[in-house]
Amino acid sequence: MDKSILNKQVQQPNQNILANVCAMAASMDDVIDLSVGDPNFKTPQPIIDFAFKKTSAGMTHYTAANGLPELRQALCDYYQQQYSLVYNSDQVLITVGAQHGMFLALETILDPGDEVIIPQPSYSPYVNQVKLAGGKAVIVNCQATNNFSINTDDIAAKITDRTKAIIINTPNNPTGHLMTESEMKGLAQLAIQHNLLILSDEIYSDYVMPGKHFMTMAKYAPNNVVINSGMSKCFAMTGWRLGYLIGPDWLIDAANEINDAICYVAPTMSQEAAFYGLQHHDEMTNPIVNAFCKRLAYLKDSLDHIDWLTAMPVDGSIYLFVDIRKTGLNSVDFANYLLQKAGILVVPGLAFGPAGEGFIRIAATQPLATIQKAVQKLNTLDLKEA
Ligand SMILES: Cc1ncc(COP(=O)(O)O)c(C=O)c1O
C-alpha cells in the first residue's frame, strides 16, 4: 500500500513557506524566536487552580455536546455586557479552539464548489480549511497603502451565485489592523444584501492598543455573522484548546450535529477553566494585554528609527507587520537573512498569501528584554551583506 490511498487533496503536501527557515532555526543556538503566535505567559494561576479543583471533585466526564450550560450562559452574559448583544445559550457552541470552530462553521455551510471570500493577508490555515470542507477559496488582496483594510467594492466584485461566506479577522493576524466602524458597516450591508455569512474570527478582540476600541462584527449584522473566538489568546490558554462559535441557532444546531460525529465535545477541564476566566475576565486578561501593548509600542517605535524597515500602524493583535521592500529582498529571503545574520526568527509575509509579500510578521511573544535584544541586533545589521 502507498499514499495513493490518501484522499487526493492531501497526496501532495501543501507548500510550507516556513519549513526551511524553521529547520535552519532548529539547528542554531540562541535564536530569538519572534515567529510563534503563542503568548509566552502561563495561564493565570487562578484559572488553573479552579480547573484542577473541579477535576479533582469529579468533573471528569463528557459535558453536554454543545458545552457546559454555565459556560455558554457566561458567554451570553459577556456579549451582553460588552456589546449589548442578546444571545441565548442555544446560540453558543463550545469548540476545541477557534481553529476547530472555523472548520466546523465551514463544514456546516459548504456544499462542494461553494465559494468563500478571504481577504488577504490572512491567517494561513483559512484557505486550506475552506478546501478541506469542499469549498473554493476566493482571495481578495488588501493593500498596504490602505493599511490592509477591506475594500467593500473589491469584495463585491468577487461575489458569485456560489458565494456563501466571507472570512474576516479583526484585530488582524498578521497585519495588526482593526476594522473601522465604516469598514464593518460596509461589509455588513454587503452580506445582508447578498444573503452571505460573515465568519468573524475575533480571537484577538482583547488585544487592542490604548485608545483603540474593538467592536464585534455581529453588532452590525447579527443574523449574518458567526462569531468565532476562544480562550487561547485572552487567557493565554493555547494548550487547553478551548473556543466557541456564536451565531444563528439553526447554524449552531447543525454545527453541533456535525461536531457530534467528530469529537463530540471540548475537554471538560478546559471548559471549567474558560468558565472561571470569563467570570474574572479583566483581572485575568489585562496584565497580559498590557504587556503586549508595551512590547508592540516599543517595537513600532524602534523600527520607525531603522530606515530600511517600515512598520505598519498597529491597532491590535500581538503582531507587527513590517514592510521590508526597501531591502530589495523578498520576504522568504529576508527571513533567512535575518535568521542567519542576527539569529532572529520571523514569519515571511508570503505565508499569509501573496498580498503579504514584501512584509514580515514579528510576533511580540517574548519578554520585552528579549525584544530589546532583537532590536539591538537589527540595528547592527549591515544590509550591504544581504
Ligand atoms: C487569527 C487566528 N485565528 C485562530 C487561531 C487559533 O486559535 P485557537 O488556538 O483557539 O485554535 C489563531 C492562532 O494563532 C489565530 O491567529
Q: 110 and 216 share a domain?
A: yes
Q: Does residue 90 share a domain with residue 39?
A: no
Could you list the pLDDT tens digit for every one of the 386 residues in the chain?
999 999 888 888 777 777 777 787 788 889 999 998 998 999 999 999 999 999 999 999 999 999 999 999 999 999 999 999 999 999 999 999 999 999 999 999 999 999 999 999 999 999 999 999 999 999 999 999 999 999 999 999 999 999 999 999 999 999 999 999 999 999 999 999 999 999 999 999 999 999 999 999 999 999 999 999 999 999 999 999 999 999 999 999 999 999 999 999 999 999 999 999 999 999 999 999 999 999 999 999 999 999 999 999 999 999 999 999 999 999 999 999 999 999 999 999 999 999 999 999 999 999 999 999 999 999 998 776 66
- Helix then strand then coil, in percent of the chain rounded to 5, is 45, 15, 40
> b/e string for 291-315 if b means 16 or more Cβ within 10 A?
bbbebbeebbebbeebeebbbbebb
- Residue 381 CA to its chain's centroid (Å): 31
Q: How many residues are listed for the chain in this entry?
A: 386
For ligand 1, atom 6, which residue shows the shortest CA distance?
99
Could you tell me the three cell numbers for 298?
516599543
Q: Are residues 263 and 309 in the same domain?
A: no
Nearest atom, ligand 1, residue 96 CA: 11
Q: How many domains does the chain have?
A: 2
Query: Domain check: are 287 and 271 in the same one?
Result: no
Query: Do residues 27 and 118 both lie within one domain?
Result: no
**Cα 286 to the center of its chain, rounded Å:** 19
- Cell numbers that stand for 167 in this block: 472570512
pLDDT at residue 385, as a whole number = 67
Closest ligand 1 atom number to CA of residue 317 = 16
Query: Which atom, in ligand 1's list, is nearest to the CA of 229?
Result: 10
Residues 265 and 298 in one domain: no
Quote the cell numbers at residue 271. 471548559
| Dist. CA 38–CA 268, nearest whole Å | 22
User: Is 53 a domain residue?
Assistant: no
Residue with cell 452574559: 77
User: Are 78 and 174 contained in the same domain?
Assistant: yes
Q: In this structure, are 28 and 14 located in the same domain?
A: yes
Domain boundary among 280, 314, 335: 280
**Domain around 267:** 61-280
C-alpha 203 – ligand 1 centre gap (Å): 6
Q: Quick check: is 245 in a domain?
A: yes
- CA 359 / ligand 1 centre spacing (Å): 20
Final residue before a domain boundary, out of 280, 312, 333:
280
Residue 88 Cα to ligand 1 midpoint, Å, equals 25
Specify whether the CB–CB gap between 314 and 349 falls below 8 A. Answer: no
Q: The CATH number of the domain where 220 resides is what?
A: 3.40.640.10
Asked whether residue 28 falls in the same domain as residue 84, the answer is: no
Same domain, 111 and 260: yes
Protein residue closest via CA to atom 14 of ligand 1: 37
55 occurs within a structural domain: no
Q: How far is the CA of 228 from the centre of ligand 1 (A)?
A: 10
The pLDDT assigned to 28 comes to: 85
CA dist 34 and 343 (Å) reads: 10
Residues with CB under 6 A from ligand 1: 37, 97-99, 123, 169, 173, 201, 203, 230, 232, 238, 243
Residue 50 included in any domain:
no
CA–centroid distance for 164 within its chain? 21
Separation of alpha carbons 280 and 283, rounded Å: 6
Whole-number Å distance, alpha carbon 198 to ligand 1 midpoint, is 17
pLDDT reported for residue 383: 75
Last residue of one domain, picked from the residues 280, 295, 328: 280
pTM, full prediction: 0.97
State the distance from the centre of ligand 1 to the C-alpha of 99, rounded, in angstroms.
Answer: 6
Q: What is the CATH number of the domain that holds 290?
A: 3.90.1150.10
